Chains A and B, each alone.
Chain A
Amino acid sequence: MALVTYATKAGGLWLLGRVDVGERTEAGLDALPGAIIVAIVAPELVDGGPPEWTAAALAAVVAWKTENLLAALVVAMVAVVALRSL
C-alpha cells in the first residue's frame, strides 16, 4: 500500500522527465493545478447547504482581498460553525 501510493506520488514527475513536453501540453499542465482543486472542492460544496455555501463565499472574498490563507480559513470556520448552530 505504501509502495503503490508512493509510486503514484512520484509517477507524474518521473513520466514527464521521459517525454518531450510541447507547447500544447505545457498549456494543459499550466491549467492542471486549478482544474484539480476545482474538481476536489466542487462536489463537496454541492453536497453542502447554505451554511457551507456562505462560508465558502466568505473564504473566497477574504482570500481575494487579503491574499491571506489563514485569514480566509478563520473567517470561513467561524462562519460555518455559527451558521450551522442557527
Chain B
Amino acid sequence: MSVSFTRSGVVAGFRTCLPVAVGVGGYGIAFGVLARQAGLSVAEATLMSAVVLAGASQLIAVELWDAPLPVLAIVVTTLIVNLRYVLMSASLRPWFKEISPARAYGSLFFVTDESWALSIADLREGAGRGAFLLGAGLAIWVLWVATTAAGAAVGGVIGDPQRYGLDFVLSAIFVAIAVGLWRGREDLLPWVVAAGVAVVGAEALPGRWYILLGGVLGSVVAVVRRG
C-alpha cells in the first residue's frame, strides 16, 4: 500500500473537514463561556484548547476547576476520557507505518473524533493521503482555538448553540461517515454490538467509557468470528 505525505493531502483534509470544524466551533464557544464561568482567564482557556485539543476532557477539566487546582483528579480524568484515542490511533497503523515516525507522531496530535473519522474514511478509499489527518486536524484546531477565545471573551452574550442546530452537526457527520465505512454484511453484528453496548454504557457509565467499550466489543465480535 503506497501512502504519501504531501501538501495536497493536507489541503484535501483541511477542505473536507472545514464544514465539520464549523460545527465543532459551536462547542468551542460553549467551552469558552464555561471556562470563563469556572474562573479561567481568556488566555488560559485559549491555551488549553491549543495544547490539549480534546473537547470532552476539557469540559470536564473546567468542571473540576477549583482553588487549589485538583491536578491529580484532572490528569486522571483526562486519561480516562481520552482512552478512546488509543483505539483510534491503533486503527491508523496500516497507513501510518508507511510514513516517517516524525510525520506520523506529529500528525497524531491532531486526532479528534471528527478528524480521525474523516481520515479513516479517506484512507479506506485508498487514495493514500497520509497527510489528510494533519489537514483535517488543522481545520479543527484553528476553529477550536479561535472559538474558545471568542466564547471566553464574550461570555454569556451568545445563546444556546442548539438554536442553530449546531449540536446536531457532529451526529450528522458521524452517520454519513458510518455509511461510507460500511463494508457489507460482515459489519452488521459488530455494529449492532457496538451500538447496543454504547447505548447501555452511556446510561450506566460516567464520561466517555461507552465509546471505548462499544468500540472494543464490536471489534472483539469480528475477532471471535474470525477464529
Contact = CB atoms under 8 A, between A and B. Distances in A.
Given A39-B194, A42-B194, A31 B221 contact: yes
Contact of B218 (A14, A39, A63, A72): A39
B54 A5 contact: yes
A12 B90 contact: yes
Interface in B185-212: 186-187, 190-191, 193-199, 201-203, 210-211
Interface of B: 16, 19-20, 48, 51-54, 57-58, 61, 74-75, 78-79, 82-94, 96-97, 104-105, 108-109, 111, 113, 117-118, 120-121, 124, 164-165, 168-183, 186-187, 190-191, 193-199, 201-203, 210-211, 213-223, 225-227
Interface of B is mostly: helix
Contacts of A56: 171-172, 175
Size class of the A contact interface (CB-based, 8 Å)? 35 or more
20 contacts: A2-B52, A5-B52, A8-B85, A11-B85, A13-B92, A27-B225, A28-B222, A29-B94, A32-B215, A33-B181, A36-B84, A37-B181, A42-B199, A46-B199, A55-B168, A63-B176, A72-B176, A73-B19, A76-B175, A80-B168
* List of 9 A-B pairs having minimum Cβ-Cβ separation, nearest first: A39-B214, A35-B218, A12-B90, A12-B89, A31-B222, A43-B202, A76-B172, A39-B198, A63-B176
